[in-house]
Amino acid sequence: MNKDIVLAFSGGLDTSFCVPYLQERGYAVHTVFADTGGVDAEERAFIEARAKELGVASHVTVDGGPAIWNGFVKPFVWAGQGYQGQYPLLVSDRYLIVEAAGCTGMGNDQVRFDLTIKALGDYTIVAPIREIQKEHTQTRAYEQDYLEKRGFGVRAKQKSYTINENLLGVTMSGGEIDRWEAPGDGARGWCAPRSEWPATPLRATIGFVNGEAVALNGEALAGQEILARLNRDFAKYGVGRGLYTGDTTIGLKGRIIFEAPGLTALLTAHRALEEAVLSKPQNRFKPEVARAWVELVYEGFFHDPLKADLESFLMSSQRCVNGDVTLETNGANVNAVAVKSPHILNAKGATYAQSADWGVEEAEGFIRLYGMSSTLWAEVNRKAAANGDE
């Protein structure tokens, strides 16, 4: 009798391979596509048809948009920085997918999935991709051959690259990317190339309440809808595309192309608002908390209690992050060109480098006291040098 097993399914090479592989080992495979916002209706139909073609016992699609917004995007934007200062954690939908299904178990994802599954309950983990790695070093070539021998085709793009798409953005690896060569023309997701950027600039205004985006161009929208629209609009200008090399969980170097137009726009707007409303000590200290939060999420500790502790601080820091930020792009880069908030820390009667409501004596006294330690060090050591002391 077949044993039931649930498989997170995207219709890509890895998950397509897993279906016949598991079936031949006595499993009735039930596929789940957790729609985290990276595919259109045509792609969803393809995924469903692919599951049917592979002969799964059942297939369902679940809406992961609200979960990924509340569970990841909000605290990530509050944190305000990527892993190692660059990568915007685009595969963090994995943690939400776990709650609906499973994973192929490859690369960093196997750590994220396994640790999350162990945190959520006592489940049996089956990882076909890990199994075939014991006997085959070229796993993608083996998977492709395995499927084709059983009469299942493989998309041309999947033969060259590993591609992940969700509400957060697109990541691509494999092929010349893994060989440390210049990416080919096929290594492109949502972001338009320079030749296709519109001639006129794009402006968008994002409204924030307690650090969460709640409106776009004056229209109140759910967070996941705001991010989806930002992805669509800013991708036309090539915003948010990068080539990143970083340290994986086990210390290997990972090289990917990523495209995150919506998240890039959100982070730029949020940072501009924070810089205007947070105090100087808050702006100095917060990056330390952000770095620790990002590293926990990247390395699989999504359910570690420290992550919840850090999020409590991040949430507290957002209580005055309210207002509207206008973004503008001509292509590739995006800038916050206007900020409006009742919490901007303006000093009445004083403007940086323009005017001040204090006197010359106050300024001189402040400078003397503020620099006393450095001034004393210079004076003492000048005298020591003049006296020939070391």
pLDDT of residue 102: 43
Q: CA triplet 336, 340, 344: central angle to 5 degrees? A: 105
Alpha carbons 29 and 21: distance in angstroms, whole number: 10
List, in sequence order, every residue forming a beta bridge with 6; answer none if it has no partner.
Answer: 30
What token pair was written down for 210?
Answer: 């307690």
Residue 18 CA to residue 71 CA, distance in Å, equals 28
Contacts of 217 (CB under 8 A, 6+ apart): 204, 205
Coil, helix or strand at residue 332: coil
**What integer pLDDT is reported at residue 203 of this predicted model?**
98
How far is Cα 138 from Cα 140, in angstroms, rounded to an integer? 6
Task: Report pLDDT for 390.
Answer: 61
Contact assessment for residue 342 and residue 322, using Cβ atoms and an 8 Å cutoff? yes
DSSP 56-105: -SEEEEEE-HHHHIIIIIHHHHHH---BTTTB--TTTHHHHHHTT-----
pLDDT at 282: 96
Tell me what pLDDT residue 2 has: 67
The neighbour count for residue 321, using CB atoms within 10 Å, is 21
pTM above 0.75, yes or no: yes
* pLDDT, position 112: 65
**What domains can be seen in the chain, in order of their start residue?**
1-64+100-160 (3.40.50.620), 168-345 (3.90.1260.10), 350-390 (no CATH)
Pairing of strands 253-259, 169-173: antiparallel
pLDDT for 103: 47
User: Are 33 and 102 spatial neighbours (Cβ–Cβ below 8 Å)?
Assistant: no
* Averaged pLDDT, groups of 10, the chain, 390 residues long: 82 91 94 80 91 95 88 95 92 69 53 71 79 84 92 78 87 92 91 96 98 98 96 97 89 92 98 96 96 93 94 97 98 97 81 66 88 88 80
Q: How many CB atoms lie within 10 A of CB 357?
A: 10
